[in-house]
Structure 1
Amino acid sequence: SGSGLYRSTDGGASWTELTTASGKGLPPKPYGRIAVRFAPSEPKTAYAFIESTDSGLLVSHDGGDSWERGDKSQWMVWRPFYFANLIVDPRDAKRVFKTDGNLILSEDGGKSFAVVGGFNGMHGDLHDLWIDPNNSQHVFAGDDGGLWISYDGGNRWWKSDNLPIAQFYHVSVDDRDPYRVYGGLQDNSSWVGDSAYPGGITSSRWENMFGGDGFWMFEDPSDSDYVYAEYQGGFIGRVNRHTHETRDIQPRLGAQELKRYKKLRFNWNTPIALSPHDPSTIYIGAQFLFRSHDHGQTWERISPDLTSNDPQKQKQEESGGVTVDNSVAEMHTTIFSISESPLTAGLIWVGTDDGNLQLTRDGGGHWENVVGNVRGLPKNSWVNWVQAGQYAPGTAYAAFDRHTFGDMTPYVYVTKDYGRTWTALLDPKDGKGVRGYAHVIKEDPIDPQLLYLGTELGLSMSVDGGAHWAQYRGGHLPTVAVRDLAVQPRDSDLVIATHGRGIWIVDDITPLRKLTPELASQDAAFVSARPAQQRIEAQGG
């Protein structure tokens, strides 16, 4: 209801909405996603893609007073998702690119488009494009596969393979020596790679294990020949790491439940959790929590609907009445985070994307929504992360996300009494210098006062249980979204999954465990580290 096309004639000081009356030729509302771009060489020429019940490209030659129809092919009609950017050649007002699943180009002022890149040759799912203002044949394009360069205006493309820009969602590690790193990437499958290798870790040291958009991935703790991996919408598989043979283990509703509940609502980034008490037990969340005791061969539903089950938030097939969702990325009222206590079997925390924080202390027999006890937290806050404590059974940490409401501040809380009361570690009243909304919070497995926090703008740490925080800048870790963290217990390494700069490893966090507030207040001090290990590679000769 808030989407509209607005125009300013005073440099942005005031804005007037263009309607079917003031902008002749515009489609009737409601509108969804809108892309609008003026031609630099002809300032009165504007292009607009407007998602509506009559979607299509519109062209104006009088600064928006009137509009005429352009292309109305499939690329202009289906749901724009995060595509829909328009880029006009700075030297030729009739030459217009549109980023979409494919990259399409018009050379006749938007009347028709042709595919010039995307799934056939490039990766596909284009996000943005830049045209050299001094040479229109020199073009950069960014898609889910990376950065592409063209020197002939988009006819042929070369990929920049030397950029560390992988977008990881989650990360885990095993106990091999050297240990291996597991993770899922945005639209680039699930992978496993070495944490160390003679001569450095190149792309050849990473192995693709599962398709789609990769998310959670773990080694099966009961059989290291297998891994669990998933792609979007809760499609989870158990994969033989040697043969890549995969068994689909996604839970399904029975016939009677299907009649009652219609469907399972799996988040785009569906949470999977391994039980710390039984190596054969795994959890997965839809609107219900499912548990398997046999590696996903069979499942039992151990909860009612843990979300708000608000029907107004379940109109993905209608997409608000504008155009239909052509993916599972907009599924809402879903479980987003799962954590079983490592101290008490059956004590399970669950967070949802619509603001519920649920707890069971008897393996799913009874559930309590404790989010109302989190004082100062606005309603409907997305539960990005919930983590059961490692040192006391009543302790848990929760990170909430409100960036879709325009609130970029971190909301991080801790409870020590099973959710009856919560203490704010970070909130808008006191952000303690931490920037960016929170993605993940974890305790150190050795030092209960050492906390790791991943936010949209980097990694922060606390050595006093969250009373004070400092941004970690070691190894020139950039300002980048940190989506997940894992500590390798034997090597005391902190493995960081960033959404934009790949995997980072902090080698040996033992000094951080020695860094008390008293020690940090000194001008200089020595801290101990674990014994170092030297690896020597010998080749025949």
Structure 2
Amino acid sequence: MIRTTVATVSLGAVVAATAWAAGPAGAAPSGGQTTSVGSAGDESDDLMAALGAYDDPRLSPDGSVTAGAYTAAWNHVTQMPVSTSTFSEATTQPYNSDSLHYRDRNASNSGGGAGYSSGRIAALAVDPAHAGVLYAGGADGGVFRSSDDGATWTPIADHLPALSVGSLAVLPDGSLWLGTGEATTASDNYAGSGVYRLVNPATGTFSTADRVGGGELDGVSIHELRADPQAGYVFAVTSHGVYRRSLTASSATTWTAVLAPCAGIGIAGVGCGVSSYFADVASDVAVQPGSSGESLVANVAWRSGAAYNGFYYSRDGGNTWSLANPTGAINPKEIGNATFAYSADGTRLYAVMESPTLLNKAGSTTVLAGVYVSASGDINGPYNQIATSSVLANSGSAMKRTRIGPGYQPGVQAWYDQSLAVDPADPGHVYLGLEELYESRDGGASWQTVGRYWNFGMPCFSYTPSLNTCDGNVMHSDQHALAFSTWPGHAPEVYAGNDGGVYARPTTQTAPGWRNLNASGTLRTLQYYSVGAGTLSSGGTALWGGLQDNGVSFLSPQGSTYTYTYPGTATPVSEQLNPAGQMSEPFGGDGGDQLVNPADGCQTVGEYVGLTMQLTNNCGYTANNDGTPSAITNIAPSDPNPRFIAPFAADTLDAGFWVAAGEYVWGDTKTWSTTSGADWQQLADSGAGHSITAIASRNHVIWAGWCGTCNPSGSFGRGVLTNYGGAWHQLTLPSDFPNRYISGVTIDPADTSGATAYVTFSGFSRAWHEAPGAGYGHVWRTTDGGATWTDVSGASTAADSFPDAPANRTLVAPDGTIIVATDLGVFVDDVKADGLGHWKRLGQADITANGNLPTAAAVYLTPSPDGKTLYVATHGRGIWSVPMP
């Protein structure tokens, strides 16, 4: 989601846009506000950068990972010794993105109308045999089940090897099929571990024993699972083509590729035109109702264009395929990522399509080719165009140019935001998901925006609550999944899954409004990048964290207060931080790294990505419900090349010194008195084209790991910069030092000289990468300022070696224990007990037991203010705590 701002800042996940100034409802921008909006192509690039922040570290240096890497790492983890401890979920309060008193006009999206939020939902499925039972799949949060039509949720897949969900499908026998590896980006960024089948999903829980097939789908992304009961098959739509297997085959029967044009499977002579990394990306398969399972259509296309891009069809249940030649309004040369939807009677085929031509064209205001219908249901058409970006913008959209500004029109992220579904009871009733949700009740002749991006800019909007007359046709942005309920005796409903969770309403409803299925706080799929903690004066701990597309969350004990004297006033005011028992979102957009004062939990610096640092000294609390006075100050240094999630930190010995990093290393001695980016001083340059990925400072000795270029499918490079010894210098690294993404740099607190440091590597070792420079090991140590290095990951054949999985963050506990967060859990090395290189998994002995951390990627570690508790941020299952090892 984009966020409001009144100053030009580094663009975030999508675009920085303006919230209208205070004043009468519907007032146009005033007061010198500017709209910081680049071209639409830039916005797509920014979203790609957002997803690359998760993707690039795992795929560097060569952009590929051999199938089997996650499974091999998981198998090792299950056999490792255990440091017994119990994890507890910390972020259990509902997350209210519209909390009153957290509506800073410079930084917050509160008031936009999205309401309660969770993390990105990539898949939805309704159980037709059990009224009120539905399933939701998080981007990296596993599967949740609701037995009360979305009022409450329970996780049912927390301990699979991968919690990234691409698809869910309930088959006629009542089983729930789960395709792991989210594929909203049509590539391998959220790799999975295959397909799983749960026989009794209404009451059961997924386990590794439920996997269907061998290792052929390990490490790929699965966009859809489509059942064809009449022909007896189930299809997996993956980043490596379309696969098929018999519905009656044993669980061990492997999946067979049936359509992969670049590989010459299913069709020959098409050509490829791109590298293997972008080859055979499949987006959708649909079975035509009424064809006895014989007629299938498929979209195989790379979003930026490739020779194989096109619509494909089969007339024999997927045994053979042909390249379609769509006629009418569709240009075959413009086919990109597409989604199909048949009417229940099979007479109409709807399609929404992204245009690689527009995606690659600088200055495009959208990348949506259009929405189309083949009135005969034939994949070859002829097609009528029933919606364009302009048509949708004029359907009540908040993304109309006069409302959101130039450069960001409906469909600008159509390569990422796509969902399409036809009401089973009405072939003319269509739901279309892009950034917003649209509805047509006449087969596309007319459209209404029924799930607006937000209320900002609409004629109904005012920051003054009593003057705000907006209706409830708002949900979180970026739509990915649609599903329908058809339970006997219940009004049919439509369910929408997006970057903020799940929403629902009856299909017959024409009045504004949605039922927010995130309100209970039990659909806990928040995707954190960071976590920070500080003590509150009223007692308890304030917990902060930056999130993918959900801003920065603030969690405090219910009833906590904070006393603050606002600038220009003399009387302290006692603020009620959390009267309703909810998390709030003081900072909007995407959240990045986080810095919290351990001694004062209301003092924090959050990041709106790209090193756009923003400071608050009062928890981001605005005294008035209209978002005034301002509570958040932009203090971003002006850096030419920061990472999307750029690092910053406080010196671990001198609380009066901060460091931050993009291409440059920056220092700040004003800390909590900082008022602007001018308070930062440039300390060092990592090099032109470089971008610092990790930074640490202890007693002003600074270590910084960088990448350059940072594109894993290009000429990837990395290095380490430090001022140890007095002068800034690039380290000469040993030949066996891995050429992978440096995800963490940690200075050993026991060495007051700053000479002892640990470097943490993401990705997988040379065993799974094609690139010779990938190297081995994930944790390396120096004791002499970088002159020599030792791989302390342990012997690769030992049961207690560090797992060969992406490592994300390192922390050294007060007793010297090394703690590392990875994609497969948290691991510790008690150096005093058995020396370096002997690792244990932190948690319960039974890896599937409650009290273990769910296997969503653990990406960040931070201690509690008293040092007794360790907080772990996961990218899909919220924040968890565990006693400090």
Equivalence for 2:259: none
**Residue equivalent to 1:304:** 685
Residue number among 248, 256, 273 corresponding to 2:634 in the alignment: 248
Superposition deviation, residue 170 in structure 1: 0.7
Q: Distance in 2 between matches of 1:63 and 1:370?
A: 62
Question: Is 1:23 matched with 2:326?
Answer: yes
Shift of 1:239: 0.9
Residues 1:126 and 2:488 are matched in the alignment: no
Residue in structure 2 matching 1:490, options 861, 866, 870: 866
2:806 alignment counterpart: 438
Aligned equivalents of 1:391 and 1:70: distance in 2? 67
Taking the TM superposition and a 5 Å limit, the aligned residue runs for 1:165-204 are: 165-175=525-535, 178-194=540-556, 204=581
Q: Does 1:336 align with 2:722?
A: no
Secondary structure class of the residue paired with 1:53: helix
Task: Give the conservation status (yes or no) of the 8 Å contact 1:5–1:17.
Answer: yes
- Residue of structure 2 in register with 1:210 after alignment: 587
What residue is the counterpart of 2:459 in the other structure? Answer: none
Aligned in 2, Cα 1:7/1:249: closer, same or farther, shift over 3 Å? same
- Quote the residue 1:416 is aligned against: 782
Instruction: Report the alpha carbon displacement of residue 83 of structure 1 after superposing the two structures with TM.
Output: 0.9
Is the aligned partner of 1:286 residue 2:641?
Answer: no
CA contact (8 A) 2:664 2:682 kept: yes
Matched, 1:425 2:806: no
Counterpart of 1:425 in 2: which secondary structure?
coil
Among 341, 350, 353, the alignment partner of 2:705 is 350
Distance 1:400 1:451 in 2: 15
Whether the aligned pair in 2 keeps the contact of 1:103 and 1:126 (CA below 8 Å) is yes
Measured at CA, do residues 459 and 77 of structure 1 come closer, stay the same or move farther in structure 2, by a change above 3 Å?
same
Aligned match of 1:257: none
Change (3 A) 1:374 1:197: farther
Distance of 2:667 and 2:335 partners within structure 1: 41
The change in CA–CA distance for 1:123 and 1:191 in structure 2 (over 3 A counts) is same
- Residue aligning to 2:246: none
Q: CA 1:391–1:179 in structure 2 vs 1: closer, same or farther (change >3 Å)?
A: same
| Gap change, CA 1:430 and 1:107, over 3 Å in 2 | farther
Choose from 48, 57, 62 the match for 2:371. 57
In structure 2, relative to structure 1, the CA distance for the partners of 1:271 and 1:72 (3 Å cut) is same
Q: How does 1:387-406 map to 2 (within 5 A)?
A: 387-392=746-751, 393-401=755-763
Q: 1:441 to 1:268 in 2, by over 3 A?
A: closer
Cα contact 1:170–1:217 (8 A) shared by 2: yes
> CA offsets per residue over residues 198-236 of structure 1, 9 Å max, x none?
9xx996264544333222232346976632122233321
Structure 1: gaps (5+ residues): 254-263, 310-332, 514-541
Residue in structure 1 matching 2:351, options 38, 41, 47: 47
- More off after superposition, 381-390 vs 423-432: 423-432
Which of 718, 726, 744 matches 1:385? 744
Identify the structure with bigger relative contact order (alpha carbons < 8 Å, sequence gap 6+).
Answer: 2
CA contact (8 A) 1:117 1:154 kept: no
5 Å matches for 1:458-537?
Answer: 458-463=825-830, 465-470=836-841, 472-473=843-844, 475-488=851-864, 490=866, 492-506=868-882, 508-509=883-884, 513=885
Cα separation, 1, equivalents of 2:804 and 2:378? 38
Q: Tell me which amino acid in the other structure corresponds to 1:106.
A: S
Partner of 1:114: 448
- Cα RMSD between the aligned structures? 4.0
Once the two structures are TM-superposed, the CA of residue 493 in structure 1 deviates from its matched residue by: 1.0
Hey, what's the Cα distance between the residues in 2 that align with 1:15 and 1:416? 57
SS in 1 for 2:529: strand
CA 1:107–1:196: 2 relative to 1, 3 Å: closer
Return the alpha-carbon distance in structure 1 between the equivalents of residues 790 and 438 of structure 2: 51
The amino acid that maps onto 2:379 is: G
Structure 1 residue identity aligned to 2:349: T
What is the Cα deviation at residue 140 of structure 1? 1.8
Q: How many Å separate the matches in 2 of 1:471 and 1:143?
A: 33
Q: For residues 591 and 599 of structure 2, what CA distance do their matches in structure 1 show?
A: 22
Secondary structure in 1 matching 2:851: helix
Mapped partners of 2:448, 2:694: distance in 1: 42
CA pair 448-126 structure 1, distance change in 2 beyond 3 A: same
**TM-score normalised according to structure 2 size:** 0.46
Deviation digits for residues 365-410 of structure 1, max 9, x if unmatched?
Answer: 53426677455x4x6x44433333334533313131479xx98x99
Deviations 1:63-93 (A, max 9, x none): 4224523311245652326312223334444
How many angstroms apart in 2 are the aligned matches of 1:278 and 1:484? 22
1:277 and 1:97 map into 2 onto residues whose CA distance is 56
Q: CA deviation at 1:356?
A: 1.9
Q: State the one-letter code of the partner of 1:339.
A: A
Q: Assess, with a 3 A threshold, how the Cα gap between structure 1 residues 136 and 78 changes in structure 2: closer, same or farther.
A: farther
Distance 1:467 1:269 in 2: 31
Q: 8 Å contact 1:443–1:451 — kept in the other structure?
A: yes
1:152 is displaced (CA, Å) by 3.7
Matched AA of 2:386: G
Partner amino acid, structure 2, of 1:123: H
Aligned counterpart, 1:522: none
Summarize the Cα distance change of 1:153–1:424 in structure 2 as closer, same or farther, 3 Å threshold: farther
Deviation per CA, 1:285-320: give whole Å up to 9, x if none: 23333222223442222333547x3xxxxxxxxxxx
Residue number among 361, 366, 383 corresponding to 2:728 in the alignment: 366
Q: What CA distance in whole angstroms lies between the structure 2 residues aligned with 1:428 and 1:36? A: 46
Note if 1:146 corresponds to 2:463: no
Amino acid at match of 2:421: I
CA distance in 2, matches of 1:218, 1:42: 55
**TM-superposed deviation, 1:129:** 2.1
Give 2:153's aligned residue: none
Residue 159 (structure 2) pairs with residue 159 (structure 1): no
For residue 73 of structure 1, what is the aligned residue in structure 2? 389
Residues 62 and 369 (structure 1), Cα distance of their counterparts in 2 relative to 1, 3 Å cut: farther
Q: Tell me the distance in 2 between the aligned counterparts of 1:372 and 1:112.
A: 64
Determine the structure 1 residue equivalent to 2:434: 100
Structure 2 unaligned spans of 5+: 1-273, 279-301, 303-308, 359-368, 393-409, 455-472, 561-577, 623-630, 712-716, 845-849
Asked if 1 retains the 8 angstrom alpha-carbon contact of 2:646 and 2:692, the reply is: yes
- Please give the alpha-carbon distance, in whole angstroms, between the structure 2 residues aligned to 1:288 and 1:482: 27
Distance in structure 1 (CA, Å) of the matches to 2:311 and 2:727: 53
Aligned pairs, how many?
461
CA contact (8 A) 1:373 1:421 kept: no
For residue 45 of structure 1, what is the amino acid of its counterpart?
L
Quick check: 2:748–2:812 contact (8 Å CA) kept in 1?
Answer: no
Contact 2:659 2:696 in 1 (8 A): no
Give the distance between the partners of 1:102 and 1:14, measured in 2 at CA.
Answer: 37
Assess if the C-alpha contact under 8 Å between 1:126 and 1:143 holds in 2: yes
Q: 1:453 aligns with which of 805, 817, 821?
A: 821
Q: 1:365 to 1:450 in 2, by over 3 A?
A: closer
Letter paired with 1:299: W
CA distance, structure 2, for counterparts of residue 85 and residue 152 of structure 1? 16
- Aligned partners of 2:433 and 2:810: how far apart in 1? 38
Is the CA contact 1:439–1:454 (under 8 Å) kept in the aligned structure 2?
Answer: yes
Cα separation, 1, equivalents of 2:787 and 2:313: 50
Query: In the TM superposition, what is the alpha-carbon distance from 1:191 to its structure 2 partner?
Result: 3.3
Partners of 2:860 and 2:336 in 1: CA distance: 32
